[in-house]
């Protein structure tokens, strides 16, 4: 790798932007859903939204699913699928493809990750949904089966799809150093930033401080970042399913965009120091 190649700076920048759009954005989707349904907002934070849902009894099962917590992860999945199609079907500029690859992975992780955790463990957003549907035990059981199947299949599929997307940036598939560099920038950086920021925001979250969440649940939620680890392993270490014909379009952008990096860093600081402790509503 050439010494002048500072693509890691751009990868850090795009990761920070993708994280801010995805994780605080996930909570913003919850907040907007509560506003639509007329809930009384209590707190918006980097890791959760607290609100009192008024007149839950009058809502149909579908609307209970939406307002109790299901809407955000469903929208994340829709965004992830849309971005995946764009990445495969359209020609994009290098920086745009880099950013959208990471954003697609994060959106998919937030969506299918919560499907899997909700289905298998009854935790997170979908745990709140099950509570709202306590009058419909048959529906809850069916939801858990469907979410478990979709979550497990989606998480496993994402391992391979992230690896697939790596090869748009890999010119020589037999060059392990090149594969390691691309795997690190595309996948391992989002894993490290996503998990570390998730844990930091969990420790300062008002939901943890009030007992609404515990640290064990926060660790479980952050486990959903695991596809990025296997995206890195499949690409950089194991050389899993390399393409028979080259998929290469361009190298990772080597010239650092410091404005983009500064913008990403500022947004992450806002996430930690403003959204982390929570914004409280009177």
pLDDT over threshold 90, residue 210: no
* Per-residue pLDDT tens digits for 87-101: 999 999 999 999 999
Distance CA 249, CA 32 (A): 39
Kindly report the pTM of this predicted structure.
Answer: 0.94
- Arithmetic mean of pLDDT, 97-107: 98
- Arithmetic mean of pLDDT, 40-53: 92
Q: What is the pLDDT at residue 265?
A: 98
- Partners of residue 279 on adjacent β-strands: 44
Cα-flanking dihedrals φ and ψ of residue 42, to 5°? -110, -50
Distance CA 83, CA 41 (A): 31
Q: What is the pLDDT at residue 211?
A: 66
- What are the C-alpha distances in Å from 158 to residues 1, 93, 154, 187, 224? 28, 23, 6, 11, 11
Q: Where are the alpha helices (DSSP H) in the chain?
A: 7-37, 61-65, 71-89, 94-121, 125-132, 137-166, 176-183, 189-203, 206-209, 215-222, 226-232, 258-270
pLDDT over threshold 80, residue 5: no
Q: What is the pLDDT at residue 162?
A: 98
Cα-flanking dihedrals φ and ψ of residue 33, to 5°? -60, -45
């Amino acid at each position: 790798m050439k010494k002048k190649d500072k693509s890691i700076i751009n990868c850090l920048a795009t990761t920070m932007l993708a994280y801010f759009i995805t994780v605080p954005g996930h909570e913003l989707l919850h907040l907007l859903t509560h506003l639509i349904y007329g809930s009384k907002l209590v707190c918006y934070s980097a890791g959760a939204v607290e609100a009192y849902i008024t007149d839950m009894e009058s809502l149909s099962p579908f609307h209970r699913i939406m307002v109790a917590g299901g809407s955000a992860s469903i929208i994340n999945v829709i965004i992830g699928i849309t971005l995946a199609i764009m990445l495969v079907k359209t020609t994009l500029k290098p920086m745009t493809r880099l950013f959208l690859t990471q954003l697609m992975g994060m959106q998919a992780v937030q969506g299918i990750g919560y499907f899997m955790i909700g289905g298998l463990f009854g935790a997170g957003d979908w745990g709140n949904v099950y509570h709202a549907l306590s009058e419909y035990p048959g529906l809850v059981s069916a939801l858990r089966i469907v979410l478990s199947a979709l979550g497990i299949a989606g998480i496993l599929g994402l391992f391979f799809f992230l690896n697939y997307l790596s090869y748009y940036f890999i010119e020589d598939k037999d060059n392990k150093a090149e594969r390691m560099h691309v795997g690190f920038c595309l996948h391992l950086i989002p894993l490290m930033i996503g998990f570390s920021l998730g844990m930091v925001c969990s420790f300062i979250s008002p939901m943890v401080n009030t007992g609404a969440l515990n640290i064990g649940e926060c660790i479980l939620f952050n486990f959903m970042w695991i596809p990025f680890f296997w995206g890195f392993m499949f690409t950089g270490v194991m050389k899993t399913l390399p393409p028979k014909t080259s998929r290469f379009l361009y190298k990772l952008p080597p010239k650092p965009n410091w404005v983009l990096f500064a913008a990403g860093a500022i947004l992450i600081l806002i996430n930690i120091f403003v959204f982390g402790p929570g914004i409280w509503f009177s």
